[in-house]
Amino acid sequence: MQWRSVAFSGFSDFSGVRAAAARQDEGGHGDGERDRVHGRARPVETAERPGAARGERGRGVGQGEQPVRGAQPGGGEGGQRDGPVRRAPVGHIGRQGPAPVRNPYGHSAEREVEVLAPEAELAVEGGALALVGPNGAGKSTLLAALAADLPAASGAVRVDGRPVGAWAPGELALRRAVLPQDPALAFPFTVREVVTMGRAPWAGTAAEDEDEEAVAAAMARVEVAGFAARPFLALSGGERARVALARVLAQHTRLLLLDEPTAALDLRHQELVLRVCRDRAAAGDAVVVVLHDLSLAAAHADRAAVLHEGRIGADGAPEEVFDAALLSRVYRQPVEVVPHPRTGELIVLPRRDVTSL
C-alpha cells in the first residue's frame, strides 16, 4: 500500500491569525478578544509504507446563515504510538492590519488581525491529529490557517509540499476538504444536493463520472442516506453535522480538516464519525480534527496537540500528552486520567472532590 502524506508542511515561522473583533465601546472602539496560535512544521515527504494498518499508522508532529463550504471549487483498532512530547517555547507578537480575510465560506472582509509567530513544530504525516484545548485557545484559528482560510503573516503553509498560495483555488479543493464548525445554509437544498456540492471541484475532470457513486457512498458512511430527499434546513443539528461531513467525504481529498465534527452528535454517531476519521488515517490520509472530548481524542487519534493561550503547549501521542497535571493547568479544572479497565485506553475525567483551579 502506498502511504502518502498530503498535509501541510514546511512552516518557517507559522503564524496563526484570527480576525480581531472590533468592539464598539462607549464613544470609542477597542479590540475584541484575539485568539493566537502558533506552530512550525517540518517538511513531510511522500513515502512508500507497506502495511499501513491501524496498528502502523503514520505519525504527525506535532454568523449569520452562510452556504456550506464546498459549494464551489476552491472552496483497524489501537496500535503502538510513540514519539516525544514537544513543548513549544514562547514566540513573539507582531501586528498587521487591516488585512483581507477570506472565511471558510468564500466571503471577504477587511479585518484587523494579530499575529503570534512561534518556534514550534506541527506536521501531519498521514494520520489522525487531534487539536484539543479550552475555549478560545486557538483550535479553530489554527485549523483555518492550515486550510488557507486565514492568511499566515509569516512562514508558510504547505499542501503536498507546495505553499497553499501557489495552488489555484480549484486545485487546492482537490487536495483538502474543510468541515467548518457551523455548517449553515440559507437556501432549501436537499440533503443529496448538499452532499453533491462536495463533488464540485471535480467538475470537468474524468472523476466527474464518479459523482453519483461518491455521493451515495458518503451518505451511507455517515448514515444520512435514509433522508436524502429531505431539506437540509429541516434537519436536527446532529443530522446537519453528519450531512456536512458527508459532503466533505464526497470531495475525495487526502487531507481532511474537521472543526468539531462530533459537537452536536449523540453517542452512537460520535463513535461513527471518529471511526471514519480513524479509517481514513489508517488508509494513509491526513486528518486534523478539533475535539473537546479528551477521552474520544485519546481513543481515536494517533497524536494530540494541546493548545493553551494561543500556543501549542505540547504535542505527541495521547498517552504521553494527556498528563493530569498538564491538562489541569491548561483547562483550569482539576482532572484525573485513568485507563479503561478493559481496553486500557485513557479516560479523562473532571475531579469534583477539589476546588477548580
Give the pLDDT confidence score for residue 140 in this predicted structure.
Answer: 92
Query: In the prediction, which pLDDT does 90 show?
Result: 24
Residues 6+ apart with CB under 8 A from 256: 176, 177, 179, 248, 277, 280, 285, 286, 287, 288, 289
Q: What is the pLDDT of residue 306?
A: 96
pLDDT digits (tens, 9 = 90+) for 270-296: 999 999 999 999 999 999 999 999 999
What the chain holds in terms of domains, given with CATH numbers, is 2-18+33-62+65-322 (3.40.50.300), 327-357 (no CATH)
pLDDT value for 22: 31
The predicted pLDDT at position 357 comes to 60
Helices (H), the chain: 139-146, 169-173, 191-196, 211-221, 237-250, 267-282, 294-300, 318-321, 324-331
Residue 218 pLDDT: 99
Give this prediction's pTM: 0.70
Alpha-carbon distance values, 184 to 18, 113, 146 (Å):
21, 25, 21
Collect the ranges in the chain with pLDDT lower than 70: 1-121, 153-155, 355-357
In which residue are the cell numbers 479516560 written? 347
pLDDT value, residue 243: 98
CA 149 and chain centroid, separation: 12
pLDDT at 281: 96
Q: How far apart are CA 262 and CA 268, in angstroms?
A: 10
SS3 205: coil
pLDDT, residue 283, reads 94
- pLDDT (0 to 100) of residue 121: 54
Q: What is the pLDDT of residue 127?
A: 92
33-77 pLDDT, tens per residue? 333 333 333 332 323 333 333 333 333 333 333 333 333 333 333
